[in-house]
Copies of this chain bind each other. A is one copy, B any other.
Amino acid sequence: MKTRTGLAALLSACAVCALSGAAVTTAWAAPPPMDSKALEAKFDAQIDPAEMGTWLKLLAAEPNHVGSAHDKSNAEWIAARLKSWGWDAKIETFDVLYPTPLAETLELVGGPGAPFKAMLTEPPIPGDQPTYTKDALPAYVAFQGDGDVTAPLVYANYGMPEDYLALERMGISVKGKIVITRYGGGWRGLKPLLAQMHGAAGALIYSDPKDDGYATDDVYPKGPARPPHGFQRGSVADMPLYPGDPLTPGYGSTKDAKRIDRKDAITILKIPCLPISYADAQVLLQSLDGPVAPANFRGSLPITYHIGGSDGGGKAHLMVKSDWSQKTLYDVVGALKGTEEPNDWIVRGNHHDGWVMGASDPLSGQIALLAEAKAFGALEKTGWKPKRTIVYTSWDGEEPMLLGSTEWAETHGAELKAKGVVYINSDGNGRGFFRAEGSHAFQHFVNEISADVKDPETGVSVRDRARARLAVGMSEGGGGRGGEANSPQMKAAATDPSKDIPLGALGSGSDYSAFLQHLGLPSIDFAYGGEGESGGVYHSLYDDYQHHSTFVDPGFVYDALLAKTVGRAVMRLADTDLPVQRYGDFADTVSTYLDEVKKLADTTRDTARTQARLLGANAFNLAADPSKPHANPAPLAASPPMNFAALDSAVAKLKVSAAAFDSALATKGESLDKAQRAKLDAVIRPLDQSLLRPEGLPGRPWYMNMIYAPGRFTGYGAKTLPGVREAIEQRRFDDAQKYVGITGQALNAYAGELDKATAIVNGG
C-alpha cells in the first residue's frame, strides 16, 4: 500500500522500520468503525486452507535449516508475499555462530554385536519424493562439543537428574563413559549436559519406540509414528542459561557486534553428542551388560535393557567434527501501521526454519501466520486499518536456539520495551484441541477468543471442546493438561462452564522466550493439537508435506483455524479501546503458585528428614538386593524453615490492587476520555516489565522475569516463581530465601503500577 511505501527506506534503522519516527498519538481510539463480529467474519472469509496447503508444499519442498539455500529463499518468498499483501516488510539479518557437521562416526567397537557402524542418515520413503533430498543434515545436535572418544556405553534412561540418582543407587558411574539416553522426560539439551556434569566422555540420544515409535502408532508411511531409522535432530545448547547466539549473550548478533570467544561461551557443550535412531540404538543397547535396567528405564525395544558400564559390555567410538563458522539468519519483519497508536506494537511471530523440511514444525504455524497477514492486507483494502501497529515476524534459526527471535529482541530491546503491547507466538500446529499458554492477565481474553472460534469437527466452540477434554481427563483420573497437578482454578473450570479455563504458564521451546523472560513483554502462545500427531517425525526427514497433510492436519483445517484464532487475538488487541487484561486472574494464579511453593518447601523438608531417618536406620542397605550393586543415596542437606512473609504480603497486596483495578475498569472504563486512556495506556503497556529484576535468576541473569522461566533442569517446562521454586528444588535454601524477597519486590512494584492505573481510571 502506498502510505507505507515511503517508510520502507527506514527499515534498517529500527526494529519495525516503518514505524520509527512516526507521530505519536497519545489517545486510545474511539469505538471501532466496523462491528467487530462482522469484521472477524470478513477476516475468516479470507482464510483459504487450500491455498495454505500450496504454501506449505512450497515452503517444505526442500530442507530449510539455517544456512540452507531453501531457508533463505523461503524468507525472501515470505517477505515478498507480505509486501504483495500491502505490508511494510523487510528481511533483517543477523550473523550467528551456527555449527554444521563436517564429519561424524558412531561405531560399536566392543561387546556383543561389535563391530557395527551406525547409519546416522535417514532412508527415503518410496512415494514421498522430498525424502529423496541430498541436502538433509545427517544425525546432528547443534552446539554439541565435538570430539573423538572411545569408551564403554552406559544407559541412563532419559538422562534426567532423577536417572542419575537411580544410577548412583545402583553404584554405577558414568565417568569417562559414553552415556546413551533416550528422548523424553525433559529437554533434549539437558541430556548431554547432565552427562557432561557427571563426567561422561560423550553422549548419545535415541528415540525409543515406546516414546514416539511403533509402540505409539503405526510407523511412517503406514502411520504417523517414527520409523526405525528416523532420528530427532535438535539443539543441545544450554538454553536455560540463555538462548540465542552463544557468542552474543544479552545483545544482538549484528554484523559488527563484539563476540565473546567460543571457548568462553558457556552454552556450548564440551563433549561430543549425536542423536540416533532406534534401529541403531537397539544394537548398542543389546551390547550392554551390567544390572538389568529398572522398570522406569525400559522402553519398547524387544530386548532386556541393561545398564552396562563394565569393560566386557558394549564399547563405542564416537566422533563429531563441526564447521563452527558464522551463518546468516534471515528474519522477516513486516508491519501494518496503526492509525491511532502507531507506537503501540502488537507483535506476532512464528519461525520459518526447520530441521529438515519442517512441514509440521514450524511451517504449519507459518502458513497460519501468512494467511492472517494476507487477510489483514485484504481487510485494509476494504477500508479497515488497525488502531495499533501490527508487527508480523517470521523468524529464522529458532531450531538451533531461538536465534532469530532472540537476536532481534535483544537488538531492539529498548524499542520493544517502549512500544510492545504483547507478543503472540505460534509454532507447529495440528488437528485437535485448542491450546494456549501465556501471561495470566490475558486469561480471560484468551477465553473470549476461544469461545468465539468454532471447532470444525464438532461445531461447538474450541473452548467448549477444550473444557470437555479437561473435564473428561480429570474424571478419568488424569491431570487436566499434560498430567500436571490440578490447580483449584483447573478443577473449577472443569466443573463450571461459567469459569475461564486457566492459561498455563510459558516455559521455553519457542520464540516467545526473549520477549517474555528477557524484556518483560506479556506473551501468548497458540496452537491446536492432540489428534493429528507429528511427534513421531519430530525433527526428522519425515516431517514433510505428505506426512502433515496425511496424518497431522488433512485439508489444513486446523492450520486455517489457527489463523482465525490468532487473527482474532491480533485484531482485538490492535483495536481495543481499553486494556483486555484482568489482573485478578494474574493475582489468583500467582497466589496458587505461592501455595505450591510453600507446600514444596514442606515436602522438601520432609524428604530430607525421612532420608536422614532411613540412612540412620541403614534402611537403604537393608531394602536392597545384596546380590545386585547398590549404594546409599547422597545425604540431602537439611532444609531450614523458610520465611515467606515477603511473598505473603506481596501477594495479598497484589490481590487487593488487582481487584481494585479490574473493578474500576469494569465500572468506569467506558467513560474514560482520550487523554485518560492515553495515560492508562502508558502505565499498562509496560506493566509486566516490573516483573523483571536486574539481577535475574540465580546463575542465569539473562532470565529476568521473576514469575515465568523455563526450568533449569526441565528445559522447556515452565517454572513459576522460579527464583524461589527452583532454589528449593535444588536445595539452595539461601537463594530461596533471598528470592522470596526479590520476587516480593517485583510483585510489589507490579501492584504499585496497578494502583497508579487504578487512580487514572478513577479519575486521577
Contact = CB atoms under 8 A, between A and B. Distances in A.
Interface of A: 209, 214-219, 223, 225, 292, 295, 298, 300-305, 431-432, 457-458, 460, 464-465, 467-469, 471-473, 475, 495, 497, 531, 607, 610-611, 613-614, 617-623, 625-627
A465 B623 contact: yes
Nearest to A611: B475
Contact of A303 (B214, B610, B614): B214
A586 to B, nearest CB: 28
A457 B621 CA distance: 11
Nearest to A301: B302
A691 to B, nearest CB: 34
A623 B473 contact: yes
A78 to B, nearest CB: 31
A622 B214 contact: no
Nearest to A209: B302
B460 A622 contact: yes
A619 B219 CA distance: 31
Given A215-B304, A300-B302, 12 more contacts: A223-B292, A458-B621, A467-B619, A468-B618, A469-B623, A471-B614, A471-B619, A471-B623, A472-B620, A472-B623, A497-B617, A531-B625
B626 A468 contact: no
A569 to B, nearest CB: 23
9 closest A-B pairs by CB:
A468-B622, A468-B619, A472-B623, A302-B302, A469-B623, A468-B623, A531-B625, A457-B626, A475-B610
Nearest to A224: B292
B223 A304 contact: yes
A418 B614 CA distance: 47
Contacts of A472: 614, 619-620, 623
A225 B458 contact: no
Contacts of A623: 465, 468-469, 471-473
Contacts of A531: 625, 627
Contacts of A216: 292, 295, 304
Residue from the set A468, A473, A621 with the largest chain B CB neighbour count within 10 Å: A468
A293 to B, nearest CB: 10
14 contacts: A214-B303, A214-B304, A216-B295, A216-B304, A219-B304, A458-B621, A469-B623, A471-B613, A471-B617, A471-B623, A472-B623, A475-B607, A475-B610, A475-B611
A460 B621 CA distance: 11
A211 B431 CA distance: 34
Contacts of A469: 622-623
